[in-house]
Structure 1
């Protein structure tokens, strides 16, 4: 799939939820991710292309993404519109415990443009599975974001490092990594 998706390409928004604004996650990269996601979402809606939202409903006791917490809500700029499909999950992959794969196959969607939070967890896991299941995916680098992490040796890795390493690992193996501008043709 080139960087200009065809009309049956679905935009897959992963976990663009209020709970990721909670300071407990740490330091974040790419503060413009939601703005880029919103730009792509507007284009998909304008062209009447398929839009699929994924919502993480955590089972962790202290997670801001628990269904009984306000953080489970979608961010305002990307809230689903009537007729847009929503899948809820409690693990990293949007394909596990949901009907996402069967929905895509029944709608004859073979191509995905993937955006969302976080690059190294749910975005990466879903992208890997999409590739393994035979879907062609574009992962939009500047429409994803992540947080700093501490490794098992105690070393802190910046959000920029984490994001870049995961995008590099996914590119040309499970997907093609592109930018918002490449998709918009600017």
Structure 2
């Protein structure tokens, strides 16, 4: 069975976009909403991953304005929400056990941020034997100014690595 995974589409991502931070796929939320609607219409699972930080100063602390899900990532009744404190959604949650219990073998991955949580989740999922698909235009990337990397470079390198050995990489139109 196939499932859609929405990673870390929390208000902090919208805050970064709104602040003018260099970004690839600033409109990914629209595509994620379409993908979620399609999966729901087909009766396929939609799974939500949220970054949960214990540090009260973090924008991902439950009391912070950045913690809440973006509208595209609101869980409907019965849709599981996994709260992680690591980069990979597999490392600090029971996601793998949930997938196995529910016969889910194929994961369609969207969300944020390409070079971080999306990357580590896809690699971990592939290592665990799941068939991974990344929806390229439904994944956000930001620049890494301290490393001298543009958002485009960080995104393109991440997608190339994932496609080379860990996942099928496609666009929303091909997925729909």
Q: Does 1:130 align with 2:125?
A: yes
Shift of 1:62: 3.2
**Given that residues 14 and 70 in structure 2 are in contact (C-alpha distance below 8 angstroms), is that contact kept between their aligned partners in structure 1?**
no
**Partner residue in 2 for 1:181:** 173
Say what the alpha-carbon RMSD is for the aligned residues: 1.5
* Alignment of structure 1 residues 42-121 onto 2, 5 Å: 42-121=37-116
**Given that residues 25 and 147 in structure 1 are in contact (C-alpha distance below 8 angstroms), is that contact kept between their aligned partners in structure 2?**
no
Partners of 1:73 and 1:170 in 2: CA distance: 28
Shift of 1:15: 0.5
Shift of 1:150: 3.0
Aligned length: 174
Question: Is the alpha carbon distance of 1:68 and 1:169 closer, same or farther for their aligned partners in structure 2, counting shifts above 3 Å?
Answer: same
**Partner residue in 1 for 2:22:** 27
Shift of 1:77: 2.7
**TM-score normalized by the length of structure 1:** 0.89
Partners of 1:157 and 1:25 in 2: CA distance: 16
Q: Deviations over 1:150-178 (max 9, x none)?
A: 355xxx21101101110001104111101
Determine which of 151, 157, 160 is the counterpart of 1:159: 151
**Given that residues 2 and 108 in structure 2 are in contact (C-alpha distance below 8 angstroms), is that contact kept between their aligned partners in structure 1?**
yes
**Partner residue in 1 for 2:161:** 169
Q: Does 1:16 align with 2:19?
A: no
Q: Does 1:37 align with 2:32?
A: yes
